[in-house]
Amino acid sequence: MNSKRSTEILVGLFVAAGIAALFVLAMKVSNLGDFTDEKGYEVVAHFQNIGGLKARSPVTMAGVRVGRVTSISLDPDSYDAKVTINIYPQYDNIPIDTSASIFTAGLLGEQYISLSPGADDFFLQDGDIIDLTQPAVVLEQVIGQFLYSTAEGE
Partner 1 sequence: MIELLRSLGGWGINTFQRLGRGHIFLMQMLAGVPSSVFRFSLVIQQLFYVGVLSILIILISGLFVGMVLGLQGYNTLVDFGAEESLGVLVSLSLVRELGPVVSALLFAGRAGSALTAEIGLMKSTEQLSGMEMMAVDPMRRIIAPRFLAGLISMPLLAAIFSAVGILGGFLVGHGLLGVDDGAFWSQMQAKTDWYEDILNGVVKSIVFGFVVTWIALFEGYDASPTSEGVGRATTRTVVHSAFAILGLDFVLTALMFGDI
Q: What is the 3-state secondary structure (H, E, C) of 85-143?
A: EEECCCCCCCECCCEEEEEECCCCCCEEEEEECCCCCCECCCCCEECEEECCCCHHHHH
Interatomic CA distance for residues 79 and 99, integer angstroms: 20
Question: β-pairing, 41-47 with 81-87?
Answer: antiparallel
In this chain, which stretch among 18-26, 90-98, 118-126, 141-149 interacts with partner 1, using CB under 8 A? 18-26
Task: Based on the shown chain and the rule CB under 8 A, indicate whether residue 32 belongs to the binding site for partner 1.
Answer: yes
Task: Based on the shown chain and the rule CB under 8 A, indicate whether residue 55 belongs to the binding site for partner 1.
Answer: no
Task: Based on the shown chain and the rule CB under 8 A, indicate whether residue 7 belongs to the binding site for partner 1.
Answer: yes
17 or 143: CB nearest partner 1: 17
Closest to 121 in 3D by CA, of 97, 100, 99: 97
Nearest approach, Cβ of 123 to partner 1 (angstroms)? 29
**DSSP letter (8 states) at residue 47:** E
Chosen residue from 1, 5, 31, 63 binding partner 1 by CB under 8 A: 31
Task: Based on the shown chain and the rule CB under 8 A, indicate whether residue 52 belongs to the binding site for partner 1.
Answer: no
Binding site for partner 1 (CB under 8 A): 4, 7-8, 10-11, 13-15, 17-19, 21-22, 24-26, 28-35, 106, 110
